[in-house]
Amino acid sequence: MIKEFKRVDRKVVDTNRIFQYCKDTVELPNGNKEEYITCLHKGAAAVVPVLPDNKILMVRQYREAIDRVTLEIPAGGRNSTDELFYDTAKRELEEEAGYTTDDELIHLITIETAIAYCDEKIEVYVARNLRPTSQHLDPDEFIEVEAFEINDLVDMIYAGDIRDSKTIASIMSYYGKYCL
């Protein structure tokens, strides 16, 4: 059985609009102390948008960190830690995909994206009865929206064409819950 770990100190070493970087000191079960660098994140929300014909709306966008265009579900960070994940999901559905819904979003899964060094949590929802509006992209966003059959998305995951972890977890969770 793993004994208790105890964080004994946290120092913020840098902050930007997405992360707060901390240097943590943790007391290990054997009494030794170890330092860790941790990224704190406000959290994010994502949405699996389902059209009336059961196709899934996906967004195609460039991701600088991996220097390529990706295919993902719509998602984005909370504006503050006070913003509800649900509200973030509705906002991102409209901003990125150009759709809204008057129905309640249905919670699908919670994802913790990089637990070895970051506390980012993404709450994922399903949106149905979609109504087109218009995209409200940030100045640095260039996003194309496409609709796919769920089976084609699953095939793309297994083929390695979709590698984004939140998208894989969300599509596979949706597939398992609603399509099997």
CB-side neighbour CA atoms (13 Å) of 80: 2
Q: Are the CB atoms for 129 and 103 separated by under 8 Å?
A: yes
Distance CA 54, CA 95 (A): 21
66: Cα separation from own chain's centroid: 16
What's the Cα-to-Cα distance from 147 to each of 81, 82, 95, 109, 150, rounded to whole Å?
A: 31, 32, 16, 21, 9
CATH at residue 165: 3.90.79.10
1 located within any domain: no
Per-residue pLDDT at 2: 78
In tens digits, the chain (180 residues) has pLDDT values of 677 999 999 999 999 989 999 999 999 999 999 999 999 999 999 999 999 999 999 999 999 999 999 999 999 999 999 999 999 999 999 999 999 999 999 999 999 999 999 999 999 999 999 999 999 988 888 999 999 999 999 999 999 999 999 999 999 999 999 998
Distance of CA 38 to the CA centre of its chain: 19
* 150 and 61 within one domain: yes
Token pair belonging to 153 = 């998305």
Q: Within this chain, do residues 91 and 111 fall inside the same structural domain, yes or no? A: yes
Q: Look up the domain containing 13 and give its range.
A: 6-41
Question: From the centroid of its chain, how far is CA 42?
Answer: 12
Tell me, what's the pLDDT at 1? Answer: 62
- Total structural domains in the chain? 2
Residue 15 lies in a domain: yes
Same-domain pairing of 130 and 151: yes
Note whether 58 and 36 are same-domain residues. no
Same domain? 70 vs 35:
no
Same domain, 77 and 103: yes
Residue 47 tokens read as 């949405």
Query: Does residue 1 sit in helix, strand or coil?
Result: coil
Do 61 and 78 belong to one domain?
yes
Same domain, 13 and 52: no
